[in-house]
Amino acid sequence: MRIFLDANVLVSVLNKEYPLFPHSARILSLADQVQFQLFTSPICLAIAFYFAEKKSGTSLAKQKIQILSSKLQVSTVDKETVSKAISNPRILDFEDGLEYYSALQHDCEAIITEDPNGFYFSEIPIYDCRKFLDEVVF
């Protein structure tokens, strides 16, 4: 199953933010199982780096992002992705639109985010970490 991870899931893992951390860390551990492929975008990695750097400093944040990105597939955000996000009148949050179309471009079957309402326009399932673990994994 191909899954797209939103920035807030990555931030939770990098900064060990409770109470979400145990669930988001479990989501990330799915990368070690052959039936799951985890994707994120360069935008999500940049957002995660920003918050990790604020908490841990530049050097440690870079190390964390390097480890994180070794477990994930990094999707592309190209001109077509931008065009689709801009032209969809239902999308009000441009960043969410970019992530959504990047996920679709890579045939992701679901998006995991801690802001499921932000993807109200999605035609693929949207889960928070706990819901995905409860409904799909276990």
**How does pLDDT run across 19-63, given as a tens digit for each residue?**
999 999 999 999 999 999 999 999 999 999 999 999 999 999 999
Structural contact between residues 111 and 7, judged by C-beta atoms closer than 8 angstroms: no
Query: What does the alpha-carbon distance between residue 3 and residue 108 come to, in Å, rounded to a whole number?
Result: 5
Cα 138 from chain centre: 20
Query: What does the alpha-carbon distance between residue 36 and residue 81 come to, in Å, rounded to a whole number?
Result: 24
Would the pLDDT of 71 be above 90?
yes
Predicted confidence at residue 138, as pLDDT, reads 87
Query: What does the alpha-carbon distance between residue 72 and residue 65 come to, in Å, rounded to a whole number?
Result: 10
**How does pLDDT run across 79-138, given as a tens digit for each residue?**
999 999 999 999 999 999 999 999 999 999 999 999 999 999 999 999 999 999 999 998
- Tell me phi and psi for residue 2, to 5 degrees: -95, 120
Predicted confidence at residue 50, as pLDDT, reads 98
What number does CATH give the domain 2-133? 3.40.50.1010
Domain residues of the chain, as ranges? 2-133
